[in-house]
Structure 1
Amino acid sequence: MALKASLALLLIIAITFIALPVVALFLRSPLDTTLQSLHDPVVMDALRLSLMTSTLTTITVVLMGTPIAYVSARFRYFGKELADSLIDLPVIMPPAVAGIALLMAFGRMGIVGHYLDAFGISIAFTTLAVIIAQVFVSSPFYIRQARTSFEDVDIALENAARTLGGSRIYTFFHVILPIAINGLVSGAIMAFARSLGEFGATIMFAGNFQGRTQTMPLAIYTAMQGDLDVSLCIAIILVAISFVVIFLVKTLTRRVYKNAGN
Structure 2
Amino acid sequence: MTGRARRHATAPRWLWIPAVLAVAFLLVPIIGMVTRIDLGHLGEVIAAPESQLAMGLSLLTSTISAFVSVVLGFPLGYLLATTTFPGQRLVRTLILLPLVLPPVVSGLALLYTWGRSAYLGSLLTEAGLGLAYTTAAVVVAQIFVSLPFMVMSVETAVAARGQRYEIAAAELGATPMRVFVTVTVPMLRAGILTGAVLCFARSLGEFGATLTFAGSLSGVTRTMPLQIYLVRESDPQSAIALS
What TM-score does the superposition give when structure 2 sets the normalisation length?
0.90
Instruction: Report the Cα distance in structure 2 between the residues aligned to 1:66 and 1:99, rounded to whole angstroms.
Output: 24
Q: Which residue, 20, 29, 35 being the options, matches 2:28?
A: 20
Q: Which residue, 28, 43, 46 being the options, matches 2:51?
A: 43
Flag the 1:77–1:14 CA change in 2: closer, same or farther, 3 A. Answer: closer
Q: Which residue, 110, 124, 141 being the options, matches 1:133?
A: 141
For each residue in 1:72-127, what CA deviation from the matched residue of structure 2 results, as whole angstroms up to 9, or x when unmatched? 11110000000111111100011111000000110011131021122232110000
Instruction: Report the Cα distance in structure 2 between the residues aligned to 1:83 and 1:199, rounded to whole angstroms.
Output: 26
Does structure 2 conserve the Cα–Cα contact (< 8 Å) formed by 1:223 and 1:230? Answer: yes
Does structure 2 conserve the Cα–Cα contact (< 8 Å) formed by 1:125 and 1:206? Answer: yes
Flag the 1:8–1:62 CA change in 2: closer, same or farther, 3 A. Answer: closer
Of structures 1 and 2, the one scoring higher in RCO (CA 8 A, sep 6+) is 2
Alignment of 1:1-262 (within 5 A): 4=13, 8-235=16-243
Flag the 1:211–1:153 CA change in 2: closer, same or farther, 3 A. Answer: same
Instruction: Report the Cα distance in structure 1 between the residues aligned to 2:24 and 2:74, rounded to whole angstroms.
Output: 38
For each residue in 1:33-66, what CA deviation from the matched residue of structure 2 results, as whole angstroms up to 9, or x when unmatched? 2222111112111110000000000000001111
Does structure 2 conserve the Cα–Cα contact (< 8 Å) formed by 1:34 and 1:229? Answer: no
Calculate the aligned-residue CA RMSD, in Å: 1.6
Ranges of 4+ aligned residues in structure 1 off by more than 6 Å: none
Equivalent residue letter for 1:106 = W
Q: Residue in 1 aligned with 2:3?
A: none
Q: Residue in 2 aligned with 1:252?
A: none
Does structure 2 conserve the Cα–Cα contact (< 8 Å) formed by 1:95 and 1:199? Answer: yes
Instruction: Report the Cα distance in structure 1 between the residues aligned to 2:22 and 2:229, rounded to whole angstroms.
Output: 27
Q: What stretches of structure 1 of length at least 5 have no aligned partner? A: 236-262
Instruction: Report the number of matched residues.
Output: 232
Does structure 2 conserve the Cα–Cα contact (< 8 Å) formed by 1:46 and 1:210? Answer: yes
Equivalent residue letter for 1:72 = L
Using the TM superposition, give the Cα deviation of residue 13 of structure 1 relative to its aligned residue in structure 2, in angstroms. Answer: 3.9
- Percent sequence identity is 36
Flag the 1:32–1:173 CA change in 2: closer, same or farther, 3 A. Answer: farther
Equivalent residue letter for 1:175 = V
Equivalent residue letter for 2:70 = V
What TM-score does the superposition give when structure 1 sets the normalisation length?
0.84
Q: Residue in 1 aligned with 2:4?
A: none
Does structure 1 conserve the Cα–Cα contact (< 8 Å) formed by 2:38 and 2:241? Answer: no
Instruction: Report the Cα distance in structure 2 between the residues aligned to 1:13 and 1:156, rounded to whole angstroms.
Output: 41
- Worse overlay, 160-169 or 82-91: 160-169
What's the secondary structure of 1:19's corresponding residue? helix
Instruction: Report the Cα distance in structure 2 between the residues aligned to 1:210 and 1:229, rounded to whole angstroms.
Output: 20
